Amino acid sequence: MTDTIEDTFRTTDGCEISYTVHPAPGKPRVALIHSLALDRSVWDGVVKALAGQAEILTYDCRGHGRSGRAKGPYTCGLFARDLAELLDHLRWPAAVIAGCSMGGCIAQAFAATYPQRTLGACLIDTTAWYGAEAPVQWRERAATGREKGLGALIGFQVTRWFSDAFRASRPDAVTALTKIFLANDTACYQATCEMLGDADLRPLLPSIEAPTAVVVGDEDYATTVDMARALNRAIRQSRLTVLAGARHITPVERPGDIAKQIASLLGGKA
């Protein structure tokens, strides 16, 4: 495989986006979008499992990781536009788009807004709508992080991210994600929480035309199996896969299974 490319570009509103391309000339192209308060490293195991099968883009969303800490408010549509501009920068006409949790919300917005650029969609541990109480609940979570520090949320986060068995067997993974989470800017975290709490992507789902894989862990209580079923029902060309014994960040907990789901969508060409 050609050497990995790491670089940055600026969006039209001036936010610097840090990204990595894993080249594979002539292979299908895949863009991977990470979850809330984490970064592109959640895809490392998936990238390794897909090596040689696809040219892969990973990046840090605005307000996350090594990308710019642009002020809110944020919307899923804005994050989708960031990805479209990144694809323009790379001169990628289209790609399979995969996203986990927050990234899955962005993938839904992208697939509905840019259908001609979406060869397939993999929606992982995600939902189109967190429910009627979500605006209040997400703002309460953001307030905890702002007032008590992000460390106050770690116990809450790690049990949602991973199953009990995975946390026991892979403390290194738990430690790595914890460090990423604690490095977040609290204002950006708040803006992203508000984005997710307010998001209602349900009206967009019928317009998603690309073949879609909906994937969820059967122990995921952040975005439940019922939420995944709702996505599956609303997106015409979709299938649902439930992963036994997995929770909310399956790209880390079950990278091989996620890679297989993405690989199944690689029939088109970018």
Q: What is the DSSP string of 174-210?
A: HHHHHHHHHTS-HHHHHHHHHHHHH-B-GGGGGG--S
Q: With 70 as the cut, is the pLDDT of residue 268 above it?
A: no
**What is the average pLDDT across 250-267?**
96
State pLDDT tens for residues 177-208. 999 999 999 999 999 999 999 999 999 999 99
Calculate what percentage of the chain has a pLDDT beyond 70: 98
Q: Convert the pLDDT of each residue in 72-129 to its tens digit.
A: 999 999 999 999 999 999 999 999 999 999 999 999 999 999 999 999 999 999 999 9
Per-residue b/e over 135-163, b at no fewer than 16 CB within 10 Å?
A: beebeebbeebeeeebeebeeebbebbbb
Q: For the chain, which domains are there?
A: 5-130+200-263 (3.40.50.1820)
Q: What is the pLDDT of residue 2?
A: 63
Predicted pLDDT of residue 39 = 98
Summarised one tens digit per residue, pLDDT across range 133-170 is 999 999 999 999 999 999 999 999 999 999 999 999 99
Q: How confident is the model at residue 267 (pLDDT cuts 50, 70, 90)?
A: confident
Report d(CA 86, CA 90) in Å as an integer.
Answer: 6
User: Could you tell me the pTM of the whole model?
Assistant: 0.97
